[in-house]
Amino acid sequence: MFITFEGPEGSGKSTQIPVLADFLRQRGYSVLTTREPGGTEIGEQIRGVIHDLKNTAMHPRTETLLYQAARAQIVEQVIRPHLAAGGIVLCDRYADSTIAYQGYGHQQNLDEVRRLVGYATEGLNPDVTLLLDLEVETGLGRKTDGEWNRLDAYAVEFHQRVRGGYHQLALEEPQRWVTIDASQTPEAVAEIICKNVIARL
């Protein structure tokens, strides 16, 4: 099973992923956790370029393509092999982040962006996507200086379009998406996530 975590900045994905991983491992599943962009040596180098606060001149199309380059690598090197071996993959962000951020956030043509994502993933889609939904201002406020990247510095309106994009994606595919109110305590969020995932397994 391929499970992805999505959500606006500061929604608590990186807190929740290890909790779900432990929960599933205790039940005997082979779980691999990873993140996007990154998760491979090449992908982490690309992440550095995309997120560098100095790269203010980066065009949205450049940004879109760099995310797909990192994604193609993680799909082939990490995600597909673990799924093929019968394991569960938990990924912190995946293709839906490109639709939400580069598509809705930058207001690029959604069909073109989807085609690029399809090329990068060769059609590998998540079985379940957990959307940790949160007010944009709350999420950005949760981020500390050390975590601040070039995308966090985009205007609040950009991040509001991203959140609206996620809501639209969840509406279009209700069988895949689980939307969770991430303003609750981490324990309450974890309980909802674990219940949902175990029910699907």
Which DSSP helix (H) or strand (E) runs through 132? strand 128-133
Would you call 31 helix, strand, or coil by DSSP? Answer: strand
Question: CB of 116: closest distance to ligand TMP in angstroms?
Answer: 10
Binding residues vs ligand TMP (CB under 6 A):
9, 36-37, 67, 93, 97-98, 101-102, 149, 151
Q: Which is nearer to ligand TMP, 55 or 149 (CB)?
A: 149
Q: Which is nearer to ligand TMP, 1 or 151 (CB)?
A: 151
Judge contact between 124 and 2, C-beta under 8 A. Answer: yes
Residue nearest to ligand TMP (CB): 101
Question: CB of 85: closest distance to ligand TMP in angstroms?
Answer: 24
Cis peptide before 37 (omega within 30 of 0): yes
Q: Which is nearer to ligand TMP, 9 or 133 (CB)?
A: 9
Q: Which is nearer to ligand TMP, 73 or 102 (CB)?
A: 102
Residues 6+ apart with CB under 8 A from 79: 2, 34, 89, 91, 124
